[in-house]
Amino acid sequence: MNFTRQLKPAHLQLLLKIAEVGQLQIAASALAISQPAASRIVADIEARAQTTLFYRSPKGLEPTPVGETFLRHARVIVAELDSLQKEV
């Protein structure tokens, strides 16, 4: 699973924000990126992971079981990076 080495903290923050708000456009706006850019990031991660991270419906996005796994790890990684920044 070498694709994980290509993930950036911003990608993980996007996934977390999507899970939080349930809408790609709102998540993108909150992170000051365009919706098309956010969509490309999610599509790229899904392509590299060879799986879907979010169920898409008219009501929004919900994490798949694999998406939940991504989110669980993303929370820890982002929290540790935040902690590192505060310490330094």
For residue 46, what pLDDT band results from cuts at 50, 70 and 90? very high
The pTM score is: 0.90
For residue 2, what pLDDT band results from cuts at 50, 70 and 90? confident
Is residue 61 within 8 A of residue 26, CB to CB? The reply is: no
For residue 47, what pLDDT band results from cuts at 50, 70 and 90? very high
**Cα 37 from Cα 19, distance rounded (Å):** 17
Taking CA atoms, 16 is separated from 78, 87, 88, in Å, by 9, 23, 24
CB atoms closer than 10 angstroms to residue 54:
21
Token pair for residue 40? 């490309």
